[in-house]
Every structure is written in structure tokens, then in C-alpha cells.
Amino acid sequence: MLRSIKKAVRPLLEKIGLLTPYDEPNYRVVIFQALTRKLPNLHGKKILEIGPKDGKDTHRLASLAPESFLIMDIPSDYTLNVTSAFRTPREKLPAWFHEIACQKKTYREGNLVYLTPQEVADLGQFDLIWCTGVLYHNPEQLRFLKRLFNLLSPGGLLVLETSLTRHPQLKHYNCVEILWPKSQLCLRVGDDDNRLIPSLLAPDQGQSLSIQANVSHLPSRKAVLSWMEMCGFQNMEEVEIPILDQARMALIATKGHFMGYTYSNRGPSPSPYAIGGSL
Ligand SMILES: C[S@@+](CC[C@H](N)C(=O)[O-])C[C@H]1O[C@@H](n2cnc3c(N)ncnc32)[C@H](O)[C@@H]1O
């Protein structure tokens, strides 16, 4: 309630000069800055970006002058550009790609989770993978993360950012909120309203991610950290991002020489249940 009043009154106060106009710092820029503190440039580095969509991070990453840059997004035939205002067909090769300042750049259509093992191997290995806003669009999130792990060279860095469950109870546990069936109750996140509502209701401005068509599984922060560890990532450093109520998280992690766990620590070794794939 208080938040809605503040939101309504702020533009007025800004207009009459009683408040300085305030721009939320863009969290993607904040993550990029955290990366540049670790790697001020990407000279000699091979990098991969998954799910660029608007290409804004692609531009930022290219400014660090990587040796080569592979950019992958879902095939355009299977997706649309969806914003809160409209939906447009996705281009096969996004218009912004030509403006990316990198000599060895490639745009590849593909769903990382469902490429064949050979297709994944053919991509090669990377010194840096940038993957923001993508994980939570994928139902098989552990498999997704393990693929990122396998695509990194030893010592390589993963920059990961994802949306998290907002559920008032689930967000404290090591678990995933499964937003299915669509008839279930889900959290409506409005300015002053955190009620559970039927997820079949048409999305509105305060729509919860639970009713966004391309989100079916929202992990908790602890779940993301557990998966990262299971995959074998080390030195996980969270990046503090300007997002209310910890509804998203960002981190930078390293692939060391440890190749990750298997599901079973008592059965045959190696276990037939490899994480994120089959042996
Ligand atoms: C919400 S947008 C994120 C855009 C941008 N990276 C950001 O941080 O805002 C998610 C993007 O990831 C892509 N994507 C989702 N799952 C993917 C997958 N398994 N393989 C490749 N691209 C994927 C989507 O097509 C979309 O372009």
C-alpha cells in the first residue's frame, strides 16, 4: 500500500523539484561491472553468450575485445520477442548482430539443453560464458547448468543470473517452485499485493512470473547454489544486484579441475546417474 502511494507521488515530487529523478541502476550493467573487476579485458579469450535476446550484454562484452564470440539463442521458429507491451516474430539473425564489434563473431540458433552431445562437443570450450535471464526459462535446470560447465575450459568463468521463486515460504528452502498445472494457485506480485491467485487469470501489469507462459520452474536461491556445486563449479561469488526482495540472483563461478558429482555416492563408480547427462 505504502509502496503504491510512493510510486504514484514520486513523479509529481520530481516534477516540482522536491525529488531528484531516480533511475534504478540496471542490474545487467552491475553484473557486467562485476565481471570487468575480475577481467578488465577479454584479450585472447573465447566467449559464449546464451540467450542474448536484445543484444545489450553482447555489445558490452564485445567492448572487452574477446578473441572470438559465439552467441546462441533459441531457434526463431520456436519463439517470439515478448515484452509486456507486444509480441513480434524473432529474427533468424538479430539486426543488432551486425553492429557487434568483434571480428570472429558467430550467431547460432539452438536450444542449449537439447543439442546432441556431438553438437555440444563441436561448439568447443570457452574461457567465459555469459548467461543472464535464461536459466529459469528452462524446466531442466540442472542439465542446463551442467552443459554450461562442460562448455567451459578449466579455469573458465560462468556469469549466471536468474529469476528466483518469490513464494513466501518456498524461497527459504532448497527447492524449486513448479508452476504446473496451470490451474494451481500462484503468487501475484503487485506493488502492494502478494496474494496467491489462480494462475489461469490473464496476466496484468503486476503479473507474477508464475503466469508468464515461458516460465514453468522457479528455483530458490539455495537450489541454484546446490546445483552449481553438484555440477562442479567452485569459487562462487554472488554479485549484489539492485533487485527488490531478492527476486533474482547473480553470481560468477569458476570451473576448476573437479568434474562434479554424480547422483549416487554409494553405488557403482562412476555412477550410471551422471548429473546433467548420461555416461
Ligand atoms: C529473458 S531473455 C534474457 C535476455 C538477456 N540475456 C537478459 O539478461 O535480459 C531469455 C533469452 O534466453 C533464450 N533462451 C532460453 N532458454 C534457452 C536455451 N535453452 N538455449 C538457448 N537460449 C535460450 C530465450 O530465447 C531468450 O532470448
One digit per residue, the tens of pLDDT, for the chain of length 279 reads 555 566 667 667 767 777 665 555 699 999 999 999 999 999 999 999 999 999 999 999 999 999 999 999 998 887 777 655 566 777 889 999 999 999 999 999 999 999 998 999 999 999 999 999 999 999 999 999 999 999 999 999 999 999 998 888 889 999 998 877 666 666 655 555 556 666 555 555 555 555 566 788 999 999 999 999 989 999 999 999 998 878 899 999 999 988 887 776 566 666 777 777 654
Residue nearest to atom 3 of ligand 1 (CA): 133
User: Count of CB atoms within 10 A of residue 19's CB?
Assistant: 13
- Taken in order of first residue, the domains within the chain and their CATH numbers are 25-174+221-255 (3.40.50.150), 180-214 (no CATH)
pLDDT reported for residue 198: 63
Q: Give the pLDDT confidence score for residue 279 in this predicted structure.
A: 42
The residue among 167, 166, 140, 105 whose CA lies nearest residue 231 is 140
Q: Which residue has a Cα nearest atom 25 of ligand 1?
A: 74
- Ligand 1: residue whose CA is nearest its atom 12: 51
74 lines ligand 1 (CB under 6 A): yes
Q: Which amino acid residue places its CA nearest to atom 7 of ligand 1?
A: 133
Pure H helices in 177-260: 221-231
Q: Are 210 and 190 in contact (CB under 8 A)?
A: no
Determine the pLDDT at residue 260: 84
Calculate how far, in angstroms, residue 43's C-alpha sits from the geometric centre of ligand 1: 25
Residue of 96, 108, 134 best suited for mutating to test ligand 1, as the one with most atoms within 8 Å of CB: 134
Cell of 247: 527476486
133: Cβ below 6 Å to ligand 1? yes
Tally of CB atoms within 10 A around 94: 20
HEC assignment per residue over 53-105: CCCHHHHHHHCCCCCEEEEEECCHHHCEEECCCCEEECCCCCHHHHHCCCCCE
Residues forming beta bridges with residue 80, ordered by sequence position: 89
Pairing, β 233-239 against β 248-255: antiparallel
Contact 188, 207 (CB under 8 A): yes
C-alpha cell at position 279? 555416461
DSSP code for 171 = G
What's the pTM?
Answer: 0.85
Q: Whose CA is nearest to atom 9 of ligand 1?
A: 133
Q: Is the CB of 248 under 6 A from ligand 1?
A: no
- Kindly state if the Cβ of 251 falls inside 6 Å of ligand 1: no
Span between the terminal Cα atoms of the chain, in Å = 53
User: Which uninterrupted H or E stretch holds 169?
Assistant: none
In this structure, the residue with its CA closest to atom 10 of ligand 1 is: 134
